[in-house]
Chains A and B, each alone.
Chain A
């Protein structure tokens, strides 16, 4: 059963920063930029045609295969945090420095190095534990 398989799965990350968190995931199939893709007043993905269009990032751990743009994230995560609509964690396949700069400013845990096969194991709404200290994510349920 997928459930039993998932219980034992730990996914390895390359680089990570921040406190450990547990939350449901929002899995994206493409890059993400708070400026290009997000309504920063509701926390809902607003870009027409984005694979997560219409979904909220609030309180989620975002699984993002790659990156696009842009310097906006340097401020945007901090702004989202204070508006009460920030994600709880950011797990990338590939990232750029702005994502790290923005996440650190907002004290949101962040990592890169999640491989594509690992992304396929994750489903929207699943709870995961993201532990930057051990550079692991564990599927909880």
Chain B
């Protein structure tokens, strides 16, 4: 890789040990992908919580902190694995909670803004067309590349921290024009109304076409999708297909026409998605016999509009016996939802709202499931019903209003 004078001095340790370690790590990643240079970034989004970092990751963070590592660009943080308030069903480990707090302290000391959110693109920062960033959450990455036209790869773990410290990232993958061209044509003939329908579309395309460098191009979307629709589509594509970018003809900024979306590349194949295909996603899930079940609205965290909609659907109703309902959102949305009365409405209905976390990354989730006897997990998030399976939930995707009906009636339909 070509290194500038500044990058050479970083690698020599002249900018401090934290930056030296960060750049050396980035260099190895860049070499693997054949990057020829680094590209400057304007924003970073850190992903790191004790559930996935463990003691080893915490130790690494302490080292960076001891070496006075400082964020060199505006930096936000992803959802956490700990809900710091009292919730009787969770009973998270005290020792691990303290470690999570220590992680937050180190991150703040490094100069990051602890937003604890996986919807930074809706609530924190919206990079512009062509802007290079380094974001450490798949849902944020695919939204940035596709909807905003910004440029980022998945930057997991140390990678997002390193980019924040050095203000650059290796130029490979979706930082380069050639990898942003469409590779797969999707003709959508289905009517997509609920966020779950958009997630189902993501599953249909992502699951059989698992490839980070595959870029689906959606045709036939006649009505302008909402941000929440695109959020669930992207999160699902990233989850099932490990995809980091899509185009939507006439809607996303690098796809005003089909020709622009493909930029001379021929699609590997063409897929048609009908109403029947969407329906078959829902019918593909089967309930198990159970005494206790859980309905979860999470993955990604809810926007203020999703909170408003849920409050409307739950108003005057109550969660049925044997059902438990959780919502996750970030601190900013929660504060607004509190001010606007949505929190009160939801809590009055028996819904538990978790702040600054995402449900599937909760610390000790397997034990939490076992202690509560939860068997079926019903959600309107196609991503969540995929990501949480290591904890052996039996997962079911349903539309938002159906999730509310199941939660309040207790009938598994």
Residues of A in contact with B (beta carbons under 8 Å apart):
15, 17, 31, 35-40, 46-48, 66-76, 78-79, 81-83, 94-98, 100-102, 104-105, 110
B252 at the interface (CB under 8 A from A): no
Determine the chain A residues whose CB is within 8 A of the CB of B391 once the complex forms.
46
Contacts A75-B156, A97-B155 known; list 16 others, CB within 8 Å. A35-B387, A70-B138, A70-B242, A71-B137, A72-B52, A74-B136, A75-B48, A75-B53, A76-B52, A79-B52, A79-B54, A81-B56, A94-B212, A96-B154, A101-B157, A102-B157
Contacting residue for A68 out of B52, B158, B242, CB 8 A: B242
**CB closest chain-B residue, reference A95:** B212
**CB closest chain-B residue, reference A83:** B54
Interface window among B27-35, B268-276, B312-320, B339-347: B27-35
Assembled-state Cα–Cα distance A97/B157 (Å): 11
> Is B242 a contact partner of A67 (Cβ separation < 8 A)?
yes
> Is B240 a contact partner of A97 (Cβ separation < 8 A)?
no
Assembled-state Cα–Cα distance A17/B25 (Å): 13
> Is A38 a contact partner of B48 (Cβ separation < 8 A)?
no
Shortest CB distance B145–A (Å): 13
Determine the chain A residues whose CB is within 8 A of the CB of B25 once the complex forms.
104-105
**CB closest chain-A residue, reference B59:** A82
B153 at the interface (CB under 8 A from A): yes
> Is B48 a contact partner of A96 (Cβ separation < 8 A)?
no
B57 at the interface (CB under 8 A from A): yes
> Is A38 a contact partner of B390 (Cβ separation < 8 A)?
yes
Assembled-state Cα–Cα distance A101/B366 (Å): 27
> Is B159 a contact partner of A74 (Cβ separation < 8 A)?
yes
> Is A69 a contact partner of B387 (Cβ separation < 8 A)?
yes
> Is A101 a contact partner of B210 (Cβ separation < 8 A)?
no
Determine the chain B residues whose CB is within 8 A of the CB of A105 once the complex forms.
25, 157-158
Contacting residue for B390 out of A15, A36, A74, A100, CB 8 A: A36
Residues of B in contact with A (beta carbons under 8 Å apart):
25, 28-29, 31-34, 47-48, 52-57, 60, 136-138, 153-160, 172-173, 210-213, 238-242, 244, 360-361, 366, 386-387, 389-392, 394
Contacting residue for A82 out of B29, B54, B136, B157, CB 8 A: B54
**CB closest chain-A residue, reference B389:** A47
Contacting residue for A70 out of B60, B366, B387, CB 8 A: B387
**CB closest chain-B residue, reference A112:** B32
> Is B136 a contact partner of A78 (Cβ separation < 8 A)?
no
**CB closest chain-A residue, reference B34:** A15
Assembled-state Cα–Cα distance A39/B367 (Å): 12
**CB closest chain-A residue, reference B364:** A41
> Is A97 a contact partner of B29 (Cβ separation < 8 A)?
yes
Assembled-state Cα–Cα distance A73/B23 (Å): 20
**CB closest chain-B residue, reference A49:** B389
Assembled-state Cα–Cα distance A73/B155 (Å): 10
Determine the chain B residues whose CB is within 8 A of the CB of A69 once the complex forms.
138, 238-239, 242, 387
> Is B386 a contact partner of A36 (Cβ separation < 8 A)?
yes
Assembled-state Cα–Cα distance A76/B50 (Å): 10
Determine the chain A residues whose CB is within 8 A of the CB of B361 once the complex forms.
35
Shortest CB distance A118–B (Å): 18
Determine the chain B residues whose CB is within 8 A of the CB of A83 once the complex forms.
54, 56
Determine the chain A residues whose CB is within 8 A of the CB of B32 once the complex forms.
15, 17, 100, 104, 110
Determine the chain B residues whose CB is within 8 A of the CB of A71 once the complex forms.
47, 136-138, 154-157
**CB closest chain-B residue, reference A94:** B211
What are the nearest 4 A-B pairs in CB distance? A74-B156, A74-B157, A79-B54, A82-B56
Assembled-state Cα–Cα distance A54/B219 (Å): 41
Determine the chain B residues whose CB is within 8 A of the CB of A82 once the complex forms.
54-56
